[in-house]
Amino acid sequence: MTTTAPQRRASISDVARTAGVSVGTVSNVLNRPDRVSPATRDRVLAAIDKLSFVPNGSARQLRAGTITTAGAIVLDVANPFFTDVARGIEDRLSQDDFTVMLASSDEDPDREARYLRLFEEHGVQGIMVVPATSDIDHLLAVRRRGVAVVLLDRPSPVSGLSSVAVDDVAGGEMAVRHLLTLGHERIAFLNGPHFIRQCADRWTGARRAVADAGLDPDEVLVDVTISSHNADGGEAGMREILQMPDVPTATFCINDLAALGALRVLRREGISVPHGMAVVGYDDVDFAAELSTPLTSVRQPTHQLGFRAADLLLADPASAAEQITFQPELVVRASSTGVAQA
C-alpha cells in the first residue's frame, strides 16, 4: 500500500509559522488579499501550497456566523419530479454562488428531522423542504431560530412562512374532469395516503370534478392507496384494481412513476390502453410522451418550482414571507384518448 499516513490537518498557525508571519496575516491573505503586500502574500501562498492547507470550515463558520450554503430535503431523490425541482434550486442558487446540499427524507419524518437538524447545526442559510408530515410546527421552530425555511410543493398554512406550490386540487380536478368527459363512470385513483397533502388535495379535486358533473363521488371514485410512489407501488395498485369485482375503466395515478408500473401490469395482462383501461399520470416526466402508450399527464412547472423557492430563500429575511402557487396543466395523450399525438 502506498497510502500516506493521514497526519493532522495543517492549521492556519502552521501556515503562519512556516511563512514566518502572524496568523492574522494568513487570514488576511485568505480574505482580504489587498491588505497584504505582494511579497508576504506570495510567501504565505507558498506555505499554504506546501502544507496543502485547507481552512477548517467549522472554525471559520463558528466565528463568522453563517455560510453560503442551503439545504434541500425532498421526499425521494430517485423521483424525476423532485430532481427537476432540485435542478431549479441549484440553478438559482449557483447564480449567487451558493451551494446546495440535497437529501431525501423517504417520506420518513424521522429522517426529515435528522437532516433538518444536520443542516441547522451546520448553520445553513436556509432550508427548502418538502414536508413529510402535515404538521409543520418543527419547521416553524427552525424558522424562529433564524434559519430561512421555504416549503416546497406545499402552500404554507401560516403567513409567516414562505412557500412554493402547485395547485394540486386543480390538478386532480382537471385530470378527473378529463376522464369524465371521455365517458368514464368508474375511476380508480391510485393515490398515496391522505396524510400527504398532495394526495389529499388531488383527491379533493377529483371529488370536486365528479360532483361538478352532477355525479356521486362515492360511486364514481375508487381510492386505491399505494405505499410507495414509484413503479413498484403502481404495479401493486393496478393488480389490486384488476381484482375488484367491478373493475374501473380508468385509473388516475398519483405520479408518472406509478403510472409506469400500472402500464406494465396492463401490458402483461394484455389489457389495451386506453380501451380496456384509460390511464392518466401526474408530473409529465420526460419520458411520458415516449411510452408505448404515450401518457396523459398533469404537468407541473418543476424547474420553476425549485427556482422560485431558491429565490424566496435568498430574499431579504426582513421582507414578508411569500406564498407562490403555480397552476398545473393537463397534457392529453394516447393513454386516455387512444389517439396518438403529433
Partner DNA sequence: CACACTATATGAACCGATTCACAACGGGAG
Partner DNA sequence: CTCCCGTTGTGAATCGGTTCATATAGTGTG
What is the contact surface with a copy of itself in residues (CB under 8 A)?
1-4, 6-9, 52, 54-62, 69, 77-78, 80, 83-84, 86-87, 90, 94, 99-104, 111, 114-115, 117-118, 120-123, 141, 143-146, 158-160, 231, 257, 260, 263-264, 267, 286-287, 289-294, 317, 320-321
Least distance CB 250 / a copy of itself (angstroms):
19
Name which of 150 and 170 has its Cβ closer to a copy of itself. Answer: 150
* Whole-angstrom distance, CA of residue 249 vs CA of residue 312: 43
Sheet holding 296-299, edge to edge: 221-225, 187-191, 250-253, 278-283, 296-299, 329-331
* Whole-angstrom distance, CA of residue 78 vs CA of residue 45: 43
Least distance CB 113 / a copy of itself (angstroms):
12
The one of a copy of itself, DNA, none whose footprint includes residue 80, by CB under 5 to 8 A per kind, is a copy of itself
Least distance CB 297 / a copy of itself (angstroms):
13
Name which of 80 and 172 has its Cβ closer to a copy of itself. Answer: 80
Least distance CB 49 / a copy of itself (angstroms):
11
Least distance CB 103 / a copy of itself (angstroms):
7
* Whole-angstrom distance, CA of residue 208 vs CA of residue 203: 9
* Cell digits of residue 261: 408500473
Report the phi/psi class of residue 65: left, alpha or beta, with left for phi > 0 and alpha for psi in -120 to 50.
left
Name which of 40 and 249 has its Cβ closer to DNA. Answer: 40
Name which of 193 and 317 has its Cβ closer to a copy of itself. Answer: 317
Q: Name every residue whose Cβ is closer than 8 Å to that of residue 193 and which is 6 or more positions away in sequence.
A: 199, 225
CA distances in angstroms from 45 to 10, 15, 51, 259, listed in the order given: 14, 9, 10, 57
- Using CB under 7 A, list all residues that contact DNA: 8-13, 20-28, 30-31, 34-37, 39-41, 53-56, 59-60, 62-64
The one of a copy of itself, DNA, none whose footprint includes residue 6, by CB under 5 to 8 A per kind, is a copy of itself
* Whole-angstrom distance, CA of residue 273 vs CA of residue 266: 8
